[in-house]
C-alpha cells in the first residue's frame, strides 16, 4: 500500500508531467510543488524508483512508470470525485473543495468511491472542469483553447478553470465565468495585455491575458 505521502508525490509528478513536452519532471519543480527541500525529493525519487513507480536517473529528472501512472490516476480520480461530491452533495463552495479533497483523497476506499461515482451519475469532470479519470485509469485529453487564444466574436463555452487558488476561483465565480457558461470574446488587445469577455446579458469583463489563459473554452 502506498502511503499518502507517496500518493501525493505521484499525483504531483503526474500533474507536472502533463505540463511538459517530454514528460520528464525536474526535481526542483517537484520540490517547490510539494513544499519540501530539494534533498527530500532526491531521497524520495530513489525510493519511488526502487518500488518501480518512477524511473529516475540522477540529475536526469523523473518520469512515472506505467504502474506509477495508474496509481497517480487513481489518486486523481478520488480527488476530483470528492471535489464534485463536496459541491453537489454537501453544498460546499467550489473555491474550498480543493483543500478538503487533499485530505480525503487518501481516506476513501474503492467501495465508497464507487458509491459516490454512482450517486453523481458517473460524472466526467469535477467542479473546475478538470476531467475525472475513469475507474480503469483512462483520462480524456482536455481542451487546448482558452479565453486568451480562442476565436473572437463567436459564442463559446467555458469548460475548465486551470487554477485552484481560492481567491481566483471566487473571482471567477463573481464574474460568472464558471464551467458550462456561454460567453464570447469581444476583443483582444495584445498591447494592453487585455481580453474583453461578454458574459450572457451582462456587461463585458476585462481580464489580463494571464488570467484569461487559465480559463479554458470549447467550440
Give how far Cα 6 sits from Cα of 24, 76, 136, 183, Å.
Answer: 18, 13, 20, 41
Binding mask 37-76 for DNA (x = CB under 7 A): xxxxxxxxxxx----------xxxx---------------
Radius of gyration of the chain (CA): 19
Question: Which grid coordinates belong to 162?
Answer: 486551470
**What letter does residue 26 receive in the DSSP assignment?**
-
Position of cell 470549447? 218
Instruction: Spell out the residues 6+ positions from residue 47 whose beta carbon is closer than 8 angstroms to its own.
Output: none
> Segment contacting DNA (CB under 7 A): 2-10, 97-105, 147-155, 172-180?
2-10
SS3 55: strand
Name the binder of 42 from DNA, its own copies, none, CB < 5-8 A by kind: DNA
Position 20 contacts DNA (CB under 7 A): no
Position 26 contacts DNA (CB under 7 A): yes
Position of cell 531521497? 43
Binding mask 95-134 for DNA (x = CB under 7 A): ----------------------------------------
Residues binding its own copies (CB under 8 A):
86, 89-92, 96, 100, 103-104, 106-109, 111-112, 115-116, 119
Which residues contact DNA by CB under 7 A? 3, 5-6, 26-29, 31, 34-47, 58-61
Amino acid at each position: 500500500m502506498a502511503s499518502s505521502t507517496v500518493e501525493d508525490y505521484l499525483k504531483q509528478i503526474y500533474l507536472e508531467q502533463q505540463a511538459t513536452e517530454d514528460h520528464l519532471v525536474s526535481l526542483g519543480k517537484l520540490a517547490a510543488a510539494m513544499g519540501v527541500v530539494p534533498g527530500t525529493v532526491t531521497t524520495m525519487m530513489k525510493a519511488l524508483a526502487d518500488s518501480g513507480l518512477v524511473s529516475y536517473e540522477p540529475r536526469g529528472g523523473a518520469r512515472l512508470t506505467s504502474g506509477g501512472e495508474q496509481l497517480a490516476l487513481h489518486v486523481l480520480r478520488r480527488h476530483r470525485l470528492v471535489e464534485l461530491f463536496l459541491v453537489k452533495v454537501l453544498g460546499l463552495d467550489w473555491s474550498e473543495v480543493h483543500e478538503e479533497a487533499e485530505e480525503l483523497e487518501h481516506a476513501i476506499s474503492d467501495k465508497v468511491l464507487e458509491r459516490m461515482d454512482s450517486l453523481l451519475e458517473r460524472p466526467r469532470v469535477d467542479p473546475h472542469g478538470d476531467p475525472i479519470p475513469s475507474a480503469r485509469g483512462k483520462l480524456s485529453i482536455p481542451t487546448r483553447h482558452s479565453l486568451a487564444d480562442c476565436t473572437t466574436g463567436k459564442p463559446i463555452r467555458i469548460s475548465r478553470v486551470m487554477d485552484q487558488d481560492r481567491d481566483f476561483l471566487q473571482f471567477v465565480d463573481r464574474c460568472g465565468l464558471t464551467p458550462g457558461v456561454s460567453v464570447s470574446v469581444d476583443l483582444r488587445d495584445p498591447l494592453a495585455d487585455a481580453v474583453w469577455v461578454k458574459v450572457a446579458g451582462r456587461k463585458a469583463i476585462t481580464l489580463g491575458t494571464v488570467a484569461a489563459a487559465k480559463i479554458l473554452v470549447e467550440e
